[in-house]
A and B are shown apart, each in its own frame.
Chain A
């Protein structure tokens, strides 16, 4: 009896181990939340933004092109929900058009708000993933650390003068752009993904409240507090809801 019982126990144990070992992962139940996709268009004076084209007119009379438009969005506020998600976006590449906000409480909302740049708790080296793109956005430690919030570059030309180049860069916590709340009625549905369409009006970076004059205001901003302050204020209304 005894040896037989031992064999039986061993067999039970082995069978259990086998069953557990072969068991597939139990799927995590879907949360009682919904998702929101933001699709972003890029325009300049209501025209579709075409990269590297010296055709767009600024309020100060310059023709400009855009050869780089990289930025972060973070600090989304949707209703009472504050998120710590962050998104790297490249406005000149197709993958720079869409971002996905997850785990949002279902309901009806009247506005969406976010920051352009990285909120202070994220704006430190190593706080976001060290992808190649993120590393390229690093704001050097020697200049204050963190990440570029915005890299907006291209060429400008006025009248018959030779074209110049501009590099409008923004970074460091003091110059985080808390974009004005965008009024829009939308709903988040449980276990569904809803969509909102936004447009970045690229000309706004150079328009309101500070019409940018490259010859007076300069053609680069990094490390120049006065210039970055103007860019920060101009960036406050660059997005609109379609």
Chain B
């Protein structure tokens, strides 16, 4: 009797297990390649804000890997250009002054710590990192021919595999051109989200793991003081503020110099540009949206004595003498440059 009951009990329990396993929908091992992206978040340096991940394009190992390939591969362009043509690794993913076909000059924005930003491009025209790179397919940059791109992708087993692993798309070349651009842009955005600045001399000093020179120390005191007052827009650890300001480059603003006003249509945004990070600054010249300053010394000279008043000049720029001057000494200026250089990553 006992044995018979135990048999039935065992059978019942095993049925429960089999049924339960089916309910839990465990994946059955298969020899076929499975789309199974590995979602992850990179480890962040001490004091960093949370990374802004994307709901529609969450960071995965596979997406980041595809982005890394695309970033430096001319496959996306019809003219041999890559992202690294302008955003050069040796220049901290910034580059020399860019002049467009109309002669408009632009300082190439640094591609570092972008995963913490909410607004992109100098005038804030791009609110979505996931889609920023779609603009690169235009004639001004990659000049991408859609048929040529599809043929290149079709012929590439590497990219067929990478696109599948990243987005589950088996035949990427069969997508529409717009869809391909979107996925490429997504992958590039993931790669950029994962690109986080390595520690600098000043980071190590802040973490009590390193020392700084007396020049850097004096520069630090000025940077974080009302005298030079750099910190209100460039607060550590990001050294930028996700906001746009008119920092007094000129009294009148025409054309691209209208900045954020061209995006919002508001006169109160005239002459405002997004605050850039100061990390790796000495590698990312020329400076300001139009690259008008070549050296850090010129930049500091401008903030010391070159501010121009206008209706939208940031109130912070008035926190000084009536003539809008800081009255820094030569020593002050040299110390500030030393401090700014201490924000460079010690390794790339």
Contact = CB atoms under 8 A, between A and B. Distances in A.
Contacts, number: 106
A29 interface: no
A5 interface: yes
B317 interface: yes
A18 interface: yes
Contacts of A11: 9-10, 13-14, 17
B224 A220 contact: no
Contacts of B20: 15, 18-19, 22
A162 B3 CA distance: 100
Interface residues of A toward B: which range? 35 or more
Nearest to B310: A163
- Categorize the interface residue count of chain B: 35 or more
A196 interface: no
Interface stretch (B74-82, B230-238, B330-338): B230-238
B10 A220 contact: no
Contacts of B224: 140-143
A59 interface: no
A140 B231 contact: yes
B24 A21 contact: yes
A132 B237 CA distance: 10
- Which of A11, A12, A14, A126 is the most central at the interface, judged by chain B CB atoms within 10 Å of its CB? A11
Interface string B207-236: 000000000000011001110000110011
Contacts of B118: 132
A14 B318 contact: no
Given A130-B47, A132-B238, A67 B315 contact: yes
Contacts of A222: 226, 319
A138 interface: yes
A4 interface: yes
B337 to A, nearest CB: 18
Given A8-B10, A167-B316, A131 B50 contact: yes
Contact of B6 (A4, A18, A164): A4
B316 A165 contact: yes
Interface string B305-316: 000010101111
B331 to A, nearest CB: 18
A155 B225 contact: no
Contact of B226 (A5, A14, A131, A220): A220
Interface in B291-348: 309, 311, 313-319
A81 to B, nearest CB: 30
A42 interface: no
A131 B21 CA distance: 42
Interface string A38-78: 00000000000001100000000000000110000000000
Contacts of A140: 224-225, 231
Contacts of B242: 132
B119 to A, nearest CB: 11
17 contacts: A7-B10, A8-B13, A11-B9, A11-B13, A12-B13, A14-B13, A15-B20, A130-B50, A135-B49, A140-B225, A143-B225, A153-B316, A165-B314, A166-B315, A166-B318, A167-B232, A220-B319
Given A11-B13, A15-B16, A18-B17, 11 more contacts: A4-B3, A8-B6, A22-B24, A67-B315, A140-B225, A142-B220, A166-B318, A167-B232, A167-B319, A220-B318, A223-B226
Interface of B: 2-3, 6-7, 9-10, 13-14, 16-17, 20-21, 23-24, 47-50, 116, 118, 220-221, 224-226, 231-232, 235-238, 241-242, 266, 268, 309, 311, 313-319
5 A-B pairs with least C-beta separation: A165-B315, A165-B318, A140-B224, A11-B13, A52-B268
